[in-house]
Amino acid sequence: MILVLLLTILVLIVSTPNKGKASDCKDGYWIRSKSDDGEIIILNDGSVWQALLTVDTMLWMRLDKVIICNLRGTDFATMINIDEDAEKADVKRLK
């Protein structure tokens, strides 16, 4: 059931037009740490991200699995937490 939901979300993300810029989604990431307010998220690969809105990310947990869908040619992406009902957050890569 979760796999079907995840695949459906990925299809929607990839097929949604975004002003001429294609997105590139990658999985295999998990949250290594984050700030208490959810603004700064550090992933297992050492990348550092800033959430543009923290309503959902403040509740995300260490070790939650995420998918990153980069907006090609920019430092912006959508982070999808597959351990939290596929909650999404727009993020900016800081490092």
pLDDT > 90? residue 52: yes
Rounded CA separation 8/32 (Å): 26
Give 16's strand partners.
none
pLDDT at residue 20, rounded to an integer: 46
Residue 3 has pLDDT above 70, yes or no: no
| pLDDT on residue 85 | 84
Q: pTM for this structure?
A: 0.74
Mean pLDDT, the chain, as a whole number? 84
More confident residue, 8 or 50: 50
Report the alpha-carbon distance of residue 11 to residue 70 in Å, rounded.
Answer: 15
SS3 content of the chain, % helix, strand, coil (to 5): 20, 40, 40
Q: Residue 78: pLDDT above 50?
A: yes
